Amino acid sequence: MYAVIVTGGKQYRVEKGDVVFVEKLEVEADSTYTFDTVLAVGEEGSVKVGTPTVAGATVEGKVIKNGKGKKLNIITYRAKKGSARRMGHRQPYTKIEITDIKG
C-alpha cells in the first residue's frame, strides 16, 4: 500500500517503512506525526484519488530527528566591478519513518 502526501509545499509518495526527509516540522524527536493531507491511496490494482484529498485517510510516521542539510555555498559576483560576496545556507529538515497508512 502506498500514499501520496503533501507537506511543506511538496508531494511525497510513501510506503510503510519508508524514511523521508521533509521540510522542518515543529515536533520533537521520538514522537509521532500524522499527515492529514493525503492526495491518493493505492494498493495493487486499485487507487483512491481525492478531490482534493481522500476523506478519512491519514499517514502516521515516527520522527527520527530534526537536522540541517549539507551547506550550500552561494557566490554573488558583479562583472567588471571587483565585487563578490560569499554566503552559505543549510536547509533544516525533519527525518520521518512511515509507520502506518490508513484509508
Report, as an integer, the average pLDDT of 86-97. Answer: 97
Does 44 have pLDDT greater than 90? no
Give pLDDT tens digits for 10-33: 999 999 999 999 999 999 999 999
Domain boundaries, the chain: 2-102
The three cell numbers of residue 98 are 512511515
pLDDT value of residue 28? 96
Q: Which residues contact 29 (CB under 8 A, 6 or more apart)?
A: 63, 64, 65, 66
**3-state class of 76 per DSSP?**
strand
Does 97 have pLDDT greater than 90? yes
Strand (E) or helix (H) holding 49 = strand 46-49
